[in-house]
Amino acid sequence: MAMKCSNHDDIKEDIGKVWPQIIAILTGCLMSLQNGLQFAWTSPFFVELTRDKVNYNITEEQASLFTTLPPIVQIISCPLFSWMCDAVGRKVTLLVSAVPYILSWILKAFATDVYTFYAARCLTGLGVCATVAALSMYIGEIATPKVRSFWGNFMSIAISLGQFLINLIGFHFNVRQTSYICLAPAFIFVFTFPLMQESPYYLLMKGKEDAARQSLKKLTLKKDIEPDFLQLKVDVKRQMSEKGTWRDLACVAANRKALIAGVLMRCAQQFCGAAALGSYTRYIFEESLGDSETSTLIFSGVYVIMTVIAGFTIDHLGRKKSFIMSMFLSATCLLALSGFYYVEQFQLQVDVSGFLWAPLAGMMAYIIFSSFGVINVPTIMLGELFSTPVKAKGMTILLGVMGLMMSLTNYLFFWLSVSYGMFCPFLVFSVVSIALTVVCLYVIPETRGKTLEEIQQILSGNVQHK
């Protein structure tokens, strides 16, 4: 009887623990928090910097480059950081990403002219590129499917939290004070992340079997790690049997499908307003409501709450269904906002003075619908789609596409709103989003609850997916 109890206890203990993976994800996501802080920095300070002619004397046209420079630098630098992920590891690349973020905050703290701000925003692009490239791979490779289903969404949660915090801090502190405050998470990351484990996938790629075994053991805390290690070794070996050339990225069916799905999701995400609305939140509310502080904080606060809830809804509905539903509903909200701004601008014998709440309500509906799919799913799936030998090359293209789309949509939003009125960018984004929703319906695979190897088998057509 005692022997049975002992065996039962051994089996129970050998299930392992998930908290080491969760801690590693949360620590890594301090860089996603930095991403959100830097990304939405223009929301509170675009208006402030263009109005303060005494200390800065920056025009709106000059300030509009604050939103387009980071993604342009991201496009240029994505080959470097994707290469670094394979050359020096996911962990080291993530640590490197803290450097441009820290330098960016320091420059912003002491900037008095537009060119110093430009330099700071270029450094932001480097940090974002390094973070997105390394963190997506890192989380996808250190976490089991069960952990990845919810905690993989924490990248988006951290970004949304960063956007809320920068708006909250920016309304109460000036540019220099805000920069000092925002340095804190970066320094916490620099001192804590070196204690985390490197990806066992990466270690096996480099032939470091003992290190990979130890990493896997510390991430799962299993007493007998050998079965999992041997399976992981077989999976990596099979994937590494591909040469991993640029030709393989286009000619191997699984890689080609992953690339097409990734590109379409990034295009759909950005044309659905993911970057533009976050960058110009205060500007949008200033144009329609005059007093933007309360509306901006409510908007960004709801974004945080809904992104947390999205972790559960995405896991329940699945990646594909969440993304498609979110895209369509978000596009509908953008179309409704376009209608309101059109009526307001052209005074079509309709008194809209009693409907000044409509922009805030429309933006709230948008962030609710977009946060449970279109904003989160492309980021979650970024580290899941590609096989090991072509992952860096696939990430290079997707990061480049993401940067290009962010730069394009940020520029389009500002240019269309100034040239034709606020209704125009919302109309263009909604029409493009609806069209891309239909295309994505036939292209995106379902990856919920799948190991990285199972996802490759689905993309190869060896396993049918729902």
| HEC string for the chain | CHHHHHHHHHHHHCCCCCHHHHHHHHHHCHHHHHHHHHHCCHHHHHHHHHHCCCCCCCCHHHHCHHHHHHHHHHHHHHHHHHHHHHHCCHHHHHHHHHHHHHHHHHHHHHCCCHHHHHHHHHHHHHHHHHHHHHHHHHHHHHCCHHHHHHHCCHHHHHHHHHHHHHHHHHCCCCHHHHHHHHHHHHHHHHHHHHHCCCCHHHHHHCCCHHHHHHHHHHHHCCCCCHHHHHHHHHHHHHHHCCCCCHHHHHHCHHHHHHHHHHHHHHHHHHHCCCCHHHHCHHHHHHHHHCCCHHHHHHHHHHHHHHHHHHHHHHHHHCHHHHHHHHHHHHHHHHHHHHHHHHHHHHCCCCCCHHHCCHHHHHHHHHHHHHHCCCCCHHHHHHCCCCCHHHHHHHHHHHHHHHHHHHHHHHHHHHHHHHHCCCHHHHHHHHHHHHHHHHHHCCCCCCCCCCCHHHHHHHHHCCCCCC
pLDDT by residue for the chain (466 residues), tens digit each?
333 444 444 444 455 688 999 999 999 999 999 999 998 898 888 878 888 888 888 888 888 889 889 989 988 998 898 889 889 999 999 999 999 999 999 999 999 889 999 999 999 999 999 998 899 889 988 988 778 777 877 888 898 899 889 988 988 899 999 999 999 999 999 999 999 999 998 999 888 999 999 999 999 888 888 888 888 888 788 777 766 778 888 888 888 888 999 999 999 999 998 888 877 777 777 766 555 677 778 888 888 888 888 777 887 888 888 899 999 999 999 999 998 888 887 876 666 666 667 788 888 899 889 888 888 888 778 777 887 778 778 888 888 898 899 889 988 998 999 899 989 999 999 999 999 999 988 888 888 777 777 888 888 776 555 5
The single residue listed with the structure tokens 């940067």 is: 403
Q: What is the pTM of this model?
A: 0.79
Separation between Cα atoms, residue 375 and residue 380, nearest integer Å: 10
Burial 217-249 (b: 16+ CB within 10 A, else e): bbbbbbeebeebbeebbebbeebeebebeeebb
Where does 17-196+242-460 sit in CATH, by number?
A: 1.20.1250.20
- The rounded Cα 411 to chain-centroid distance in angstroms is 20
Label residue 260 exposed, middle or buried (CB < 10 Å: 0-12, 13-18, 19+): middle
Helices 358-371 and 293-317: crossing angle in degrees, nearest 10, is: 30
Cα separation, 182 vs 45, whole angstroms:
14
